[in-house]
Amino acid sequence: MSDDRIIELEIKAAYQEDLLQALNQIVSRQQQQIERLEATCSLLNERIKSLSAEGRHGEDAGGNSYEIPPHY
């Protein structure tokens, strides 16, 4: 192999290594974002369940969630 061919292959390998590092950083950031989104979805799901449970308790007590004040 000629020296020019070896140099060309080394340059290509260096570019590929840089690209691989950049893609690895992107994938890492995306994984962190996915984890944050999953945590947010879980919190929202729990909040919806608690609001739904609160709504059912109000309906069980009086048929709707609005209570008449005691002086009526």
Which DSSP category does 71 fall into? Answer: T
Q: What is the pLDDT of residues 42-64, one digit of tens each?
A: 999 999 999 988 887 765 555 55
Residue 32 lies in a domain: yes
Residue 36 lies in a domain: yes
Contact indicator for 41, 47 with CB cutoff of 8 Å: no
Q: What is the pLDDT of residues 25-41, one digit of tens each?
A: 999 999 999 999 999 99
Distance of CA 23 to the CA centre of its chain: 19
Q: Any alpha helices (H) in 1-72, and if so which ranges? A: 3-62
- Domain region containing 30: 23-47
Residue 43 lies in a domain: yes
Residue 42 lies in a domain: yes
Residue 30 lies in a domain: yes
Residue 8 lies in a domain: no
Domain tally, the chain = 1
Residue 44, both tokens: 């929202």
